């Protein structure tokens, strides 16, 4: 009988890998884990956690105006990036320490090293050591990528934002997905002059059209210069840019071409020529144009693991690759790129492999939130998807919430339910509002259980709240 160093060796110390390692170790398995960077992965170190803390920080600017409307006598404060950044990194250090402690307390052996595959049961560490394992779990996540264009190296990716020495006065954000839109709102809230280019017709592709339209409108109202159907034609260091009309005058306006303001950094920065004809200089450019699975140079294909066209590890419903002893979970599989999904995949892997309980991963009806300002929460089908599937009723309302109406703000809320005509089951729910992420988590339970519109109707409203509208909408606004 073959003897292995470990029962399980996990490559990657992000949320999915750490959870799988801990749960497997709790079954009595001998587990090793290798992480070449910082423990906690994208979510804790370069993604969800620092981003959400920045969302919190950026929201305080509007609170000064709101507080005065509610009778508080106070002046606007000034945002200190260096002070916030210091606290931010201290918190990330604390969280990384917790991850390490959780692993150690679970009996997992940590290898602070890059690991690559030698064969179906062997990994090689960066120092040349090899470790064997009965099972190998690849949980190396993904990374942001820059577009393939000249001078793209001048631009930042989302990984770089948290380490900026100085907060820029102006920035161009390229992309229309949730990462691009979240950082547009964050940086705008922190006082940065934000311009956003997206080549598509509307931001947040894949979300409900009505919901994403309201988010785009709110972003513009708050000062983000959002240009749709627009992309970069050329970018250079400003010192190498050709003299041209409009150079050095980034515009903090919508695509209508209103009065321009002076460049934030006329002696440096990045010169951009865009498809809408504008030539501008920005302090920084942020590319939020896609992410790629971390599979390069890992020896996966050499040992027989099949890789997809986007570099993702191909797996079955049990997260098993084409090599029976090798599994993969999380963003490296490019299934659903969300931290809670990676954790669920890791737990299902342990149930299947170490507990003898074959458990397929359930990717249906996953609630999600986009931390724009206001937030967008969604679960289930969009109106567009649902009407292609079956006849539906759409229940929808939009209004100014009490808190903002009193303060004189223009922010609007959207509450929307997509309902099957035949079964009356709620097929989807879409919310645009402050704290929509908190609301959609709870609505997600009902939708996952197969609640009908009548189940919502039977629920007594909590008044006065925004969320009460979800149970008080009696008549559909349209059918399709």
Alpha carbons 210 and 374: distance in angstroms, whole number: 14
Q: Out of 3.90.550.10, 3.40.1350.10, 3.40.190.10, 3.50.50.60, select the CATH number for domain 6-142+291-353.
A: 3.50.50.60
| Pairing label, strands 115-119, 426-433 | unpaired
For every one of its 480 residues, what pLDDT tens digit does the chain have, with 9 covering 90 and above?
A: 789 999 999 999 999 999 999 999 999 999 999 999 999 999 999 999 999 999 999 999 999 999 999 999 988 889 999 999 999 999 999 999 999 999 999 999 999 999 999 999 999 999 999 999 999 999 999 999 999 999 999 999 999 999 999 999 999 999 999 999 999 999 999 999 999 999 999 999 999 999 999 999 999 999 999 999 999 999 999 988 886 444 344 433 333 333 333 333 344 799 999 999 999 999 999 999 999 999 999 999 999 999 999 999 999 999 999 999 999 999 999 999 999 999 999 999 999 999 999 999 999 999 999 999 999 999 999 999 999 999 999 999 999 999 999 999 999 999 999 999 999 999 999 999 999 999 999 999 999 999 999 999 999 999 999 999 999 999 999 999
| Pairing label, strands 326-328, 291-293 | unpaired
Does the domain at 368-479 match CATH 3.40.50.620? Answer given as no
**Catalytic sites, residue numbers:** 463
Query: What pLDDT is recorded for position 243?
Result: 64
Residue found by looking up tokens 């097929």 in the block: 427
Residue found by looking up tokens 């509208």 in the block: 469
Based on its alpha-carbon atoms, the radius of gyration of the chain, rounded to whole angstroms, reads 24
Alpha carbons 188 and 256: distance in angstroms, whole number: 19
Instruction: In the chain, list all ranges with CATH 3.30.390.30.
Output: 368-479
How far does the chain reach from its first CA to its final CA, in angstroms?
A: 63
Query: What pLDDT is recorded for position 250?
Result: 42
Return the SS3 of 134. Answer: strand
Using a 10 angstrom Cβ sphere, with 0-12 exposed, 13-18 middle and 19 or more buried, the burial of residue 81 is middle
Does the domain at 152-287 match CATH 3.50.50.60? Answer given as yes
Residue found by looking up tokens 């290898």 in the block: 111
For residue 464, count other CB atoms closer than 10 A to its CB.
9
Torsion of Cα atoms, 300 then 304 then 306 then 312, to 10°:
-10
Instruction: In the chain, list all ranges with CATH 3.50.50.60.
Output: 6-142+291-353, 152-287
């Amino acid at each position: 009988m073959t003897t292995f160093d470990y029962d399980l060796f996990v490559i990657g110390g992000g949320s999915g890998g750490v959870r799988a390692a801990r749960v497997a170790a709790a079954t009595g398995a001998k587990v090793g884990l290798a992480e070449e960077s910082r423990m906690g992965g994208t979510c804790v170190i370069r993604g969800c956690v620092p981003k959400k803390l920045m969302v919190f920080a950026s929201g305080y600017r509007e609170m000064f105006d709101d507080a005065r409307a509610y009778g508080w006598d106070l002046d606007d404060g000034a945002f200190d990036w260096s002070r916030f950044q210091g606290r931010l990194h201290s918190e990330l250090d604390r969280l990384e320490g917790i991850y390490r402690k959780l692993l150690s307390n679970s009996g997992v052996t940590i290898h602070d090293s890059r690991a690559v595959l030698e064969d179906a049961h062997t990994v090689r560490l960066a120092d040349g050591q090899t470790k064997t394992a009965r099972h190998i779990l690849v949980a190396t996540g993904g990374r942001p990528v820059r577009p393939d264009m000249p001078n793209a190296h001048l631009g930042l990716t989302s990984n770089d934002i948290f380490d900026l020495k100085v907060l820029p006065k102006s920035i161009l954000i390229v992309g229309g997905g949730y990462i691009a839109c979240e950082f547009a709102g964050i940086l705008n809230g922190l006082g940065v002059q934000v311009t956003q280019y997206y080549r598509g017709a509307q931001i947040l592709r894949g979300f409900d059209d009505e919901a994403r339209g309201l988010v785009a409108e709110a972003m513009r109202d708050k000062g983000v210069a959002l240009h749709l159907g627009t992309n970069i034609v050329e970018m250079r260091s400003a010192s190498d840019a050709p003299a041209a009309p409009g150079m050095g005058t980034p515009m903090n306006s919508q695509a209508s071409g209103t009065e321009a303001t002076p460049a934030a950094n006329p002696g440096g920065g990045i010169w951009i020529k865009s498809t809408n004809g504008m030539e501008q200089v920005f302090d920084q450019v942020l590319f939020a144009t896609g992410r790629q699975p971390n599979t390069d140079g890992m020896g996966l294909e050499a040992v027989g693991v099949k890789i997809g066209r986007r570099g993702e590890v191909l797996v079955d419903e049990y997260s098993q690759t084409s090599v029976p002893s090798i599994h993969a979970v999380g963003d490296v599989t490019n299934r659903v790129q969300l931290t809670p999904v990676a954790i669920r995949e890791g737990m299902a892997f342990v149930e299947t492999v170490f507990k003898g309980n074959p458990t397929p991963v359930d990717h249906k009806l996953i609630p999600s939130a986009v931390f724009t300002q206001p937030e967008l929460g969604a679960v289930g089908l969009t109106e567009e998807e649902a009407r292609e599937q079956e006849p539906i009723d759409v229940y929808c309302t939009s209004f100014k919430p009490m808190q903002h109406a009193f303060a004189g703000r223009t922010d609007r809320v959207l509450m929307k339910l997509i309902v099957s005509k035949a079964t009356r089951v709620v097929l989807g729910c879409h919310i645009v509002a402050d704290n929509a992420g908190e609301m959609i988590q709870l609505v997600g339970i009902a939708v996952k259980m197969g609640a009908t519109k009548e189940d919502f109707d039977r629920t007594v409203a909590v008044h006065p709240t925004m969320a009460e509208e979800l149970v008080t909408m009696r008549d559909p606004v349209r059918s399709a």
